[in-house]
Amino acid sequence: MKYLFYKSALFFGFLFVVFSCRTSTGDDEKNQTLSHGTTEVSLFTATNGQLAFLVTKNKKVVLDTSLLGIKVNDKLLGKNVEITLLEQKETQIQFPLNGIKSEASYKGDVYSYKVSEADGTDWKLEFQLSNEGVAYRYVVSGQGTQHVQGEESSFKIPSQTKVWYFERDSDWKLKSHAGEWLSADISEMPTVSKMGPIQGLTLTCELPQGGYALLAEAALYNYSGMRLEAIGNNTFKANFEEGNAGFDVTGNITTPWRCILLADTLNDLTNNTMVASLNPAPDSKLFADTNWIKPGKSVWHWWSGKYVDYKEEHDMVDDAQSLNFAYSMVDEGWEKWANKWESVTKLSNYAKEKGVGIFVWKHSKEINFPEDDYAVMGHFLDSVKKTGAVGVKVDFMNGQSKNIISFDEALLRKAAERQLMVNFHGCQQSSGEYRTYPNEVTREGIRGLEVNHMKEGPLTASHNAALPFTRYVTGHGDYTPLGLTEPGETTWAHQLATLVTFYSPFNCIAENTQFLLKTKSVAPALDFIKAVPSVWDETFVLPQSKIGELAAITRRTNNDWYLGVLRSGPAQELQIDCSFLGNGEYIAEIFTDDTEAKRIDLKGLNKEADLRQWDTAVPFKKSSETVTKEKTLTVRLAEHGGAVIKFIKK
């Protein structure tokens, strides 16, 4: 059956070749050219009559002829239409971020078109162009219920493009977006996955002419989340969980932005904030006060024992205080406690005395009832608020249908009304919602360290070295870093480096707290683990970085810098140009792979671990020296190794 399915996909891909070439009618007055800097968008009619566009940068194609259109109420919009430019204007915004930098600054050009159908109906097509990429969306006015049955939206990628996508050999792939990041040539995408030709966002493309394009969506509200189906001819087409059944939207339809992020370098890609910038600003009344939204690291018992009792969580609060962590994540199991609400209240009060905030876990199915504006959800959040807990972790949404997206937004809104932070798990990737709802302090939608405990684990070093340039480009990810007792093929220095290379305002640390606090071989890094921030003022990617092979990323907090290096592949000597530092001297605390030391015996360190053949690990060693921005440091990376350097301003 799969073979027939793939043959069908390739057949329709062939049909796409027939009609997706640019029109040759010479009717140039129907064509539009949009530009920003060296990026241009050509808007025209394809030979099959459908509205289409093409994107170039520096006069080279980054997106070939790609179709536009949406099907609403059994009518395909965008075929044999006239387009009229309604407005062209500049947009410029700045807003605070909790993430890779302290502030995002976005400047672009907005083009708004009236699209006139042959039957006289009109709708709007909006484009935004900036130095960070190209985005578009559809706006279809209407009253009552409108039924969306899919989109014609497609993305034709240049030949010989390497596409990075996430893979998981189960139907969880498109439920939780927790797949391993792999790469393939664009021509292979219809058949590369055992799970079929549909891929979840995001997709990072290494273009043959150099540079990068990343396919994403932004401002996912009141709509179904987009996936991309490889239909052949180097083309992806918009796909939705509801399939042919479609989904309902009340009133006007405003689709999420369909984004093509563009970057010349990995540093530009990593610092791209277009997705967040396309989201609406926070509601000024709902977020009049945001002092209750506080980034910080969290302890988490799950890594060392999945189900917890009250005493264990009480002890975790003490460990959080000892580690200078801001939070304790109370996962599944607390609802089985006797007098659960009284117990959580007691725990929260104790934690507050220690300067620690409590998050509590909840399965989404128990609060996902839309009736009376999600009254059941509101009642649960009221109960959480009364305990003194500061946030919730809501799990197992298991999809991105319109109904689930509506649930997500309702949770963010209702939690904000009660000044509660939110951690989403079992969900899709970020589409920048954290700008509109800054109480979303993290989300999963990522293949994180918990996989090391599972039969399909452990995580590969190449997956880790790809994450900063794939999943993390559009927003924070709850990877739950630092797994010293079960690192798989990676080294301890590699694990330390994930605290820098990955980011999450609510950074839930996996490792057993007692192991961190009491293990002699960890002690030299304990101050680093305590001090490393969960959000940053500035980020810079070293030019040696390469997706899936080397992620070397420096991040600044105040006057200090942190460097994290993740290596996938053979041992390597890495030269680090320190010119990113400010003026003056810095004390460099350096943690590198200690390949000459005896390997750490991992057996018995974690009762939850399934070590397989990786039952030992390369330890780290610590050194220090004084450096300036003129200095070049040399670090030696073990196979699948890593390094961390903390630069402390004198």
535-549 per-position pLDDT tens digit: 999 999 999 999 999
- pLDDT exceeds cutoff 90 at 31: no
**What's the whole-model pTM score?**
0.94
Radius of gyration of the chain (CA): 25
Q: Give the model confidence (pLDDT) of 138-147 as tens digits.
A: 999 999 999 9
Tokens of 65: 């002829």
- pLDDT exceeds cutoff 50 at 3: no
Q: Which residue has the tokens 């959480």?
A: 384
Lowest mean pLDDT among 3-7, 80-84, 227-231, 441-445: 3-7
pLDDT at 307: 80
- Our measurement of the distance from residue 47's CA atom to the centroid of its chain's CA atoms, rounded to an integer in Å, reads 37
Residues 605-616 have a mean pLDDT of 94
- pLDDT exceeds cutoff 90 at 623: yes
- pLDDT exceeds cutoff 90 at 28: no
- pLDDT exceeds cutoff 60 at 24: no
The runs of H, that is alpha helices, within 323-453 are 340-353, 371-387, 402-417, 433-436
**Which contiguous run of DSSP H or E holds residue 106?**
strand 103-116
Q: Give the model confidence (pLDDT) of 481-512 as tens digits.
A: 999 999 999 999 999 999 999 999 999 999 99
CA angle 195-196-200, nearest 5°?
A: 80
- Going by C-alpha positions, the residue among 411, 498, 463, 416 that lies closest to residue 568 is 463
pLDDT at 30: 64
Residues 245-270 have a mean pLDDT of 98
563: amino acid identity, one letter: L
Mean pLDDT of the chain: 94
Class of residue 210 by CB neighbours under 10 A (exposed 0-12, middle 13-18, buried 19+): exposed
Q: Give the model confidence (pLDDT) of 168-191 as tens digits.
A: 999 999 999 999 999 999 999 999
Hey, what CATH topology would domain 2-277 get? Beta-galactosidase; Chain A, domain 5 (2.70.98)
Class of residue 119 by CB neighbours under 10 A (exposed 0-12, middle 13-18, buried 19+): exposed
Burial per residue of 551-587, b for 16 or more beta-carbon CB atoms within 10 angstroms, e otherwise: bbbbbbbeebbbbbbbbbbeebebebebebbeeeebe
Q: Quote the CA–CA distance of 173 and 119 in Å, as a whole number.
A: 42
Tokens of 521: 């071989």
pLDDT at 308: 83
Helices 310-322 + 340-353 axis angle, to 10: 20
- pLDDT exceeds cutoff 90 at 13: no
167: amino acid identity, one letter: E
Delimit the domains of the chain by residue range: 2-277
- pLDDT exceeds cutoff 80 at 14: no
Is the Cα dihedral 497, 499, 500, 503 positive or negative? positive
pLDDT band at 366 (very low <50, low <70, confident <90, very high): very high
Lowest mean pLDDT among 13-17, 48-52, 226-230: 13-17
- pLDDT exceeds cutoff 60 at 642: yes
- pLDDT exceeds cutoff 80 at 406: yes
Q: Give the model confidence (pLDDT) of 299-355 as tens digits.
A: 999 999 878 899 999 999 999 999 999 999 999 999 999 999 999 999 999 999 999
Residues 353-375 have a mean pLDDT of 98
First-to-last CA distance in the chain?
Answer: 66
- pLDDT exceeds cutoff 70 at 596: yes
For 150, half-sphere exposure in the C-beta direction (CA atoms, 13 angstrom radius) is: 17
Q: Quote the CA–CA distance of 410 and 459 in Å, as a whole number.
A: 33
Residues 291-300 have a mean pLDDT of 98
Q: DSSP labels for 419-445?
A: T-EEEE-S-----SHHHH-TTEEEE--
3-class SS letters over 120-167: CCEEEEEEEEECCEEEEEEEECCCCEEEEEEECCEEECCCCCEEEEEE
Q: Give the model confidence (pLDDT) of 190-209 as tens digits.
A: 999 999 999 999 999 999 99
Q: Give the model confidence (pLDDT) of 331-347 as tens digits.
A: 999 999 999 999 999 99
- Where on the phi/psi map is residue 374: left (φ > 0), alpha (ψ -120 to 50), or beta? left
Q: Give the model confidence (pLDDT) of 88-129 as tens digits.
A: 999 999 999 999 999 999 999 999 999 999 999 999 999 999
Q: Which residue has the tokens 């360190």?
A: 605
Residues 594-623 have a mean pLDDT of 96
Q: Quote the CA–CA distance of 49 and 60 in Å, as a whole number.
A: 25
pLDDT at 12: 38
The torsion angles phi and psi of 442, rounded to 5 degrees, stand at: -175, 165
